[in-house]
Each structure stands twice: as C-alpha cells, then as structure tokens.
Amino acid sequence: MTRLPVILAITGASGAPYAVRLLEVLATHSVPTWLLVSTHGWRLLAQECGLKDDRELKKATGGDWASVRVFDDSDRGAAPASGSARTAGMVICPCSMGTVAAVAHGTSRSLIERAADVVLKERRKLILVPRETPLSLVHLRNLALAAEAGAVVLPAAPGFYHKPAKVSDLDPVELMRREVTPEVYREVRELWKAHSMAEDGRDIAGLIATLTPDCVYEVLPGGARWEGHAGATRFYTELLAAFPDVHFDLQNIIIGPQGVCEEAKVTGTHRGTWLAYPATGRRVEFRVVIFFPWDLARRKFTGERVFTDLSGLAG
C-alpha cells in the first residue's frame, strides 16, 4: 500500500522544538513527509534549536530523510500547491498568527499558505499548532474561521499531569498515538530481556548499556531519585549492597511502544540500609510495579519508575 505524504509546515512561531520532534517521529517511522519551512520558521529553528539549514535539521531528526521531501516555501507551483497532488493532510507546527490569518483568509501568498488552502478546499485534514499569548480578538476570530473551515486547532499546551522534570518530557507527540508495530514490539522486548538478564547476572555495565545517558531512576511514592548512568550505577550498587540475594520474580509484563510495565515479586535478605530503612537481617518480600519508559529516538530505556510499598522493611 502506498502511503500518502503528510505535509509538515514549520512557521515563525515559538515552539520550534515541537516541529523538530514531530519531524523526527515522521522520519524515523518512514512516513512520507513533504517539508515546508517559512523564512521565519528557519529563524525560529536557528534561535530555539540552533539549526541553521536542512543538513542540521536532518541530523537533529535522526539523520534518515529517505521519506522526507523538502520544498521551497517561495515555490507556489510545487506539488503541495495543487489539489491533484494527493496528500494525507497537513500539519502547521508551530503556526504563527500570521500564518493563521493567511489560512483563515485563504491568501495563498507562499507555498505553505497555498498548501493549507488546498488541504481545506479538498476537505483533507489540516492541523494548526498555534503559539501566541495573549490572543487578541483578531487571533481568536482567525482561529475560529480556520476551525469553521475544517482545521483542527491544536495549541501547543502540554499537560503537566505526569510531572515533567525537563523540557523533553513535554513531548508534543502524544504517547498514546505511537503504533505498536511488530518491529517495535520485538525491539522493546529484546531490550528488556537484555536488561533483565544483566540484572540477574549482576552485570551493571550490561544494565547501563540498555539506558540513555540521562536516564532517571525513581522509587515512588517516596520520590527517591537517581540521575544519569552514574545515578543508575549507584541505584544498583546500593540495592545489591542492601539485598545481596535480591531476586525479581516476574508476575506480569506489558510491552508497548511507550516502554515496558512489569509486575514482580521481589525477595531478598535485608542486609544493609535501603533508602530510609536500616538493615533488619530479615528475609523480605514486596511487590513492585516497574515502568521502563522507552525513548523512540534513542531506542533505549530512559530509566525506571518503581512503584512499591516498602513499609514492610521497617524494623
């Protein structure tokens, strides 16, 4: 089946990192993509991401642009300007208020504006990711006009429910939209197997090899936190010092494009201090649910979030 191209337009509103991330996901999934960047889109890519040209943008989005075709925004005769060139639709991310106005009024003075006009007239999907604050009545009216004409207005307004610790946690691509392809499933499963085998073999270097350099380990609800490869090494060293015979007995596992979630029964002899719990010398058993978030671009786990009740460790 031939997949129709998605038009991705990047215009001069703040939020260039959203565009870079979106393009990275499209390119790494080999989604046919027609890329259009306005003059001010480039200005924002340079200012917010340090990316000056196609070559740098390509490198920042995974390096493989086999599915990406670049168009010059001044070329109003290029394929995206014509309704007969079939596309899956268009995303303008980020979308300046200037471009919102142009879309709302069908001005078509650049390839981006014309492509959006075509997408609307052909009743294809147009997604606008506007960024401006505060919004004037002009902005609001233009957004309403675009929405009335069929555009989806999707402001870059990330939720904070998952307590993001860094900007990259504000992933603009909703995790839920990731596809569970057999390849991704196998890759995540193999990574988890490598991680677990290293854990069983007390092979800390092997464990670290499955983690991104900025990985984070957390034990919740207490909130204890270890950062980076050095932090992950400390997490395991401290765990193995506290429970030299620690054993994870896997009860359940879910593998998906967001990572792995496992439920396990942990047993071990409490020989050293673990978090706030001094050694009891007792044989202990507790249940854990561990989430291993998987980084789509770097193809490794970004750490572990361990949910457990450690009150049984109290002396």
Ligand X SMILES: Cc1cc2nc3c(=O)[nH]c(=O)nc-3n(C[C@H](O)[C@H](O)[C@H](O)COP(=O)(O)O)c2cc1C
Residue of the chain from 30, 47, 82, 168 that contacts ligand X (CB under 6 A): 47
Question: Segment contacting ligand X (CB under 6 A): 5-13, 80-88, 151-159, 163-171?
Answer: 5-13
Computed from CA positions of residues 204, 232, 22, 34, in that sequence, does the dihedral angle turn out positive or negative? Answer: negative
Q: Does 97 bind ligand X (CB under 6 A)?
A: yes
Q: Which two tokens stand for residue 182?
A: 């057999």
Contact (Cβ atoms closer than 8 angstroms) between residue 34 and residue 80? yes
Q: Which two tokens stand for residue 68?
A: 């990406």
β-bridge partners, 89: 6, 125
Q: Does 106 bind ligand X (CB under 6 A)?
A: no
Question: Segment contacting ligand X (CB under 6 A): 82-90, 93-101, 178-186, 300-308?
Answer: 93-101
Residue of the chain from 6, 7, 8, 11 that contacts ligand X (CB under 6 A): 11
Q: Does 14 bind ligand X (CB under 6 A)?
A: yes
Question: Which burial class, exposed, middle or buried, applies to 269 when counting CB atoms under 10 A from its CB (0-12, 13-18, 19+)?
Answer: middle
Residue of the chain from 40, 125, 287, 299 that contacts ligand X (CB under 6 A): 40
Residue of the chain from 21, 24, 33, 41 that contacts ligand X (CB under 6 A): 41
Nearest approach, Cβ of residue 33 and ligand X (Å): 19
Helices (H), 228-303: 228-242
Q: Does 142 bind ligand X (CB under 6 A)?
A: no
By beta-carbon proximity to ligand X, the closer residue of 154 and 253 is: 154
Nearest approach, Cβ of residue 284 and ligand X (Å): 54
By beta-carbon proximity to ligand X, the closer residue of 14 and 269 is: 14
Q: Which two tokens stand for residue 226?
A: 């270890």
Strands (E), the chain: 6-10, 33-37, 68-72, 89-95, 125-130, 152-153, 211-220, 224-227, 247-256, 259-269, 283-295, 300-308
Nearest approach, Cβ of residue 134 and ligand X (Å): 11
CA torsion 210-216-220-222 (nearest 10°) is 140
Rounded Cα distance, 6 and 156, in Å: 19
Coil vs helix vs strand at 257:
coil
Nearest to 248 by CA among 258, 260, 259, 257: 260
Helices (H), 149-276: 182-200, 204-208, 228-242
Nearest approach, Cβ of residue 27 and ligand X (Å): 22
Q: Does 132 bind ligand X (CB under 6 A)?
A: yes
Question: Segment contacting ligand X (CB under 6 A): 34-42, 199-207, 224-232, 302-310?
Answer: 34-42
Question: Which of the residues 267 through 306 are near ligand X (CB under 6 A)?
Answer: none
Nearest to 188 by CA among 264, 26, 302, 266: 302
Nearest approach, Cβ of residue 74 and ligand X (Å): 11
Nearest approach, Cβ of residue 95 and ligand X (Å): 7
Question: Segment contacting ligand X (CB under 6 A): 40-48, 59-67, 201-209, 256-264?
Answer: 40-48
The residue of the chain with the least Cβ separation from ligand X equals: 12
Instruction: Answer whether the bond into residue 257 is a cis peptide, omega within 30°.
Output: no
Nearest approach, Cβ of residue 73 and ligand X (Å): 8
Query: Do β-strands 152-153 and 68-72 pair in parallel, antiparallel, or remain unpaired?
Result: unpaired
Question: Segment contacting ligand X (CB under 6 A): 8-16, 144-152, 188-196, 223-231?
Answer: 8-16
Question: Which of the residues 206 through 245 are near ligand X (CB under 6 A)?
Answer: none
CA torsion 201-205-207-210 (nearest 10°) is -140
Residues that bind ligand X (CB under 6 A): 11-14, 38, 40-41, 43-44, 47, 96-99, 131-132
